[in-house]
Structure 1
Amino acid sequence: MRIKQISVSGLFGIFDHVIPLNMDERITIIHGPNGFGKTAILRILNSFFNSRYADLRAIPFRNFRVEFDDTTSVEIIKNSENADGSETNNIGFNFYNHDSKPAYFALKQPDREVFISYGSDNSIRLREQIYPLIFRDCSTERTLSLEDSVEVYDSLSSSKLKLKEEPDWLEKLKDNIHIRLIESQRLLNVFPNRSSRRSAETPSMLSTVSAYSDELAKLMQDKFKEYGTTSQSLDRTFPVRVVKQQPSTDLTDEQLRYQLYELEATRSRLIEVGLLDKDEDAEFQIQPQDIDESTKNALSVYVEDVGKKLSVFAEIATKIDLLRKIINNKFAYSYKEINFSKEKGFVVTTSYGSSLSNSKTLLPTDLSSGEQHELVLLYELLFKVQPNSLVLIDEPELSLHVGWQVQFLKDLQDITQLADLNILMATHSPDIIQDRWDLTVELKGPHK
């Protein structure tokens, strides 16, 4: 299920926009003058599908409609005044499912207590409202905006946070459509402090690039642990399986040598991206005269086992490899290079004015704002978004010089193919668009 078209009327009380999404190439670019609602449209989409209703109330519009590729649609309606003329900020949702009567849900104004569900049958009071859109964590007494609190507490749960009152059809819709907003302000973010036990975790404002570096290190460590567990399991039964292995007449010596060569190439690639440690004894070279029927049986089991072990790294290695390729292409102009390790995550070095053996290691925060923006954006696309999501990118050109902007769309296409993503981005930059105006939708002013 994918979003096919979005439309808004009465945005800021002025604008009506219709935005068909590019279903084939999966990248849609919206552009237009400042103030026409590019960012607002992204925020409305993100607010609805991620239950950030404070944002939805804060953005002035009359009607917002999302159409899906299965012919269903959902409509968000804002009523600015009651029947008696008094001001209100009520929001209603209509879900149109083919020819059936539309399902309707009215979003209530937030009460003093907000209940957040951590599952189908478990809800706890997380926050107490002390002022409109401001909440206090009941366990830590920290004060947060609704947006920050939802983001922080959502990251502490394996499931999405949802208002307890949402109807089943709305929860099901949000389970099928995954939206992630990558905002223009990307260098600082709110992250949970995991230095203490879960019940006392508190959010902190941290450098995003540092937080993502630590996060990648943890992802790499987890994969290495999985690799170790798989290796132990296979090694324990290896002798028995070799003995029971039936001689194969189909496997030739040449095929076996090629499979061994492929395994070594894969292992070298994993060492290069930091997932495996370099082992001088790892190479397994077989001479033609060394292969007979008994060794062939053992080697065929070995090849199968090593393939299973290394397959643990397949997805993360491909993503790291693409990130490394794109970033190093950008960083070369400033004599920097990025690599990755299980201990540190991002490892940035510079060798300007010195030999490669005396290269200097930099902290991720030592990178320029443009370099950090690029690294954070690409990391989010590759590692933070689940497949088949719609990713909303606001002003990707921020802090990027023209050369990087020109290359951005091509890099984005490589990433969307690998990560299976759909993209809706807002930009002012013709250098981002280049000659791909067929992917664009222009936001225009009201007809006069």
Structure 2
Amino acid sequence: MAERLRATDGRMMDSGHVLTDVTVTDLLGRFTHRVGFPADDEFVIVHGPNGVGKTMLLDLISAIVWPVDIAKIMNVPFRTLRLAFSDDSVLTIDRASTDFDRNRYDLDQEDHRGVTIRLTFVLTGPHRRRVHWSSVLQRHDDRSLTRDSETLLFSALSERAHVPLDRRLEQMLRNLNAHTGSDSLTDKATRDVPPDLREFLAGIAVHSIDTHRLLGLSAPDAGRSLSKAASLTKVEQFAQDLARRLGDALVTNSRTSQELDRTYPQRLLASSAAGNISEQEIRSRYDAQNELRRRLGDISLVDEDSSVIVIPKRMEPWQRAVLWTYLSDTEHKLATFKGILDRVSLLQSIINSRFLFKRLEIDRERGFRLLSDEDQELDLTSLSSGEQHELVLVYDLLFNVPTGALVLIDEPEISLHVSWQKGFIGDLRKIASLVRFRSVVATHSPQIAGRWADRMVVLGPTAE
């Protein structure tokens, strides 16, 4: 068996409910899939040919977190979804519709107008009372919705040429949401969800990385308007996001420094016992802080020379007390950068081990800087599709995944060279060890699994 990943304290991380098993029946009217995911495994790889429903399976898992994505569950054809968790809780979702036919489900031939769907949620467990909730809903006509989307897109592209394209696209999305009512579907459908079920679902953290990860239209989720970000690539958006995070770290450091400086005299007067600290302890601590300061200087967060001091060759007790208090304060100040430093360092390590003839550097004002092997600055948009996919995927995993979340990664191999595919799980393990998350990886590529083939669940047709 392959080595299992554990948290730094030796225990598997357990944030909320840890998913241990997923079973879906009659997916697409013909497949029954089961994915076992032991609680002490950090990742599982779901492998299979096109058309067996790997992406739909990930969609269903992502849809059950609170607030439940009712529209997504409605539009995936399946019979039952069963999710088991590490606390022995079991959540079962039954989807019954007037158009469901186990032996035939053709989206191009079926007429979905007026289809009624009943979704039934049942939550059970040895230490909880049974919770039952059901909702009857009307499904959209997918073909009509597609035609309407095409009409609205054509209108946005061809009309009102004097209006900037990004504003026309933003208005198109508003019109489409108004037309389908999708914004209010979840609110209406989940209004009467029992509190116990709502609380359980709210305890599940899921982060999805789908095949459209290079699209830059997800900016509104980060609090930005579409009109301001539609022209940016996802790489450029993440560069801006990193610049913001670096700025936030500097603000936190400044507040911590001001508080420590304000109380320094009082703490120095009370630190007479520090005079017993050995000179070697002082020098070792100072050297460690200089190394940390050097690393922070590499990502433009501190000036390496700003806090250089000269330590006397021989120290009096009062000097040792002063220096020890000073070093204690410096340690607290530098600790404010620890979280972002570890993530940025790993980002650079992974990306610069992949990119050829160029390297990624960190800039306080711009987030990312891209330099050639001749130290010429390159535009971020000059990155190839594969390089963009690699950078976006690694950044997303490092900076956007909550601790303890379940990460759903769809087709990480997109645009990646085989050698990069082979290194993906190794990179994922390093990132998961730092951020502490579990992941389900859906892929067509056996190269992704590599020596981790024992973590691979193969999906295929069930016996007819």
Shorter-normalised TM range: 0.7 to 0.9
| Cα deviation, residue 293, structure 1 | 1.1
Aligned to 1:415, what secondary structure does the other structure show? helix
User: Quick one: higher RCO (CA 8 Å, sep 6+), 1 or 2?
Assistant: 2
Structural mapping, 1:28-177, within 5 Å: 28-50=44-66, 51-81=68-98, 87-98=115-126, 102-109=130-137, 143-144=173-174, 163-177=190-204
Structural mapping, 1:310-325, within 5 Å: 310-325=334-349
Q: Is the 8 A contact 2:63 2:73 kept in 1?
A: yes
Stretch moving more, 278-287 or 180-189:
278-287
Which of the residues 242, 246, 257 maps onto 1:216?
242
| Cα deviation, residue 284, structure 1 | 2.4
Give deviations 1:325-355, integer Å, cap 9, x for gaps: 0000001xx211001122001111113xx4x
Aligned to 1:220, what secondary structure does the other structure show? helix
- 2:432 corresponds to: 416
Aligned to 1:435, what secondary structure does the other structure show? helix
| Cα deviation, residue 21, structure 1 | 0.8
| Cα deviation, residue 194, structure 1 | 10
Stretch moving more, 299-308 or 42-51:
42-51
- The size of the alignment, in residue pairs, is 403
- 2:279 corresponds to: 253
Aligned to 2:277, what secondary structure does the other structure show? coil
| Cα deviation, residue 223, structure 1 | 0.6
In structure 1, the gaps of 5 or more residues are 113-130, 135-139, 154-159
Q: CA separation in 1, counterparts of 2:188 and 2:277?
A: 53
Q: Which has the higher helix share?
A: 2
Q: Is the 8 A contact 1:275 1:317 kept in 2?
A: no
Over 3 Å counting, the alpha-carbon distance change for 1:294 and 1:162 in structure 2 is farther
Over 3 Å counting, the alpha-carbon distance change for 1:152 and 1:377 in structure 2 is farther
Which amino acid in the other structure matches residue 403 of structure 1?
S
Q: Is the 8 A contact 1:79 1:90 kept in 2?
A: yes
| Cα deviation, residue 221, structure 1 | 0.2
Q: Is the 8 A contact 2:22 2:82 kept in 1?
A: yes
Q: Determine whether 1:239 maps to 2:255.
A: no
RMSD, matched Cα? 3.2
Over 3 Å counting, the alpha-carbon distance change for 1:182 and 1:259 in structure 2 is same
Q: CA separation in 1, counterparts of 2:20 and 2:365?
A: 42
Structure 1 runs, 4 residues or longer, greater than 6 Å off: 149-153, 200-203
Structural mapping, 1:284-363, within 5 Å: 284-289=309-314, 291-331=315-355, 334-351=356-373, 354=374, 359-363=375-379
Over 3 Å counting, the alpha-carbon distance change for 1:168 and 1:214 in structure 2 is same
Q: Is the 8 A contact 1:47 1:53 kept in 2?
A: yes
Q: Determine whether 1:283 maps to 2:305.
A: no
Q: Is the 8 A contact 2:116 2:139 kept in 1?
A: no
Which amino acid in the other structure matches residue 242 of structure 2?
L
- 1:127 corresponds to: none
In structure 2, the gaps of 5 or more residues are 1-16, 100-113, 141-147, 153-169
Stretch moving more, 236-245 or 410-419:
236-245
Over 3 Å counting, the alpha-carbon distance change for 1:146 and 1:6 in structure 2 is farther
Over 3 Å counting, the alpha-carbon distance change for 1:219 and 1:89 in structure 2 is same
Q: Using structure 1 for the length normalisation, give the TM-score.
A: 0.82
Q: Using structure 2 for the length normalisation, give the TM-score.
A: 0.80
Q: Is the 8 A contact 1:246 1:297 kept in 2?
A: yes
| Cα deviation, residue 220, structure 1 | 0.7
Q: Determine whether 1:230 maps to 2:248.
A: no
Give deviations 1:128-150, integer Å, cap 9, x for gaps: xxx89x9xxxxx96634669x99
| Cα deviation, residue 110, structure 1 | 7.0
Over 3 Å counting, the alpha-carbon distance change for 1:204 and 1:283 in structure 2 is closer
Stretch moving more, 232-241 or 58-67:
232-241
| Cα deviation, residue 247, structure 1 | 3.1
Q: Is the 8 A contact 2:89 2:126 kept in 1?
A: yes
| Cα deviation, residue 235, structure 1 | 1.1
Which of the residues 366, 376, 393 maps onto 1:377?
393
Q: Determine whether 1:428 maps to 2:444.
A: yes
Q: Which has the higher strand share?
A: 1
Which amino acid in the other structure matches residue 216 of structure 2?
N
Q: CA separation in 2, counterparts of 1:151 and 1:38?
A: 24
Give deviations 1:80-124, integer Å, cap 9, x for gaps: 129xxx942221111112276531112343799xxxxxxxxxxxx
| Cα deviation, residue 447, structure 1 | 1.5
Q: CA separation in 1, counterparts of 2:122 and 2:183?
A: 29
- 1:6 corresponds to: 22
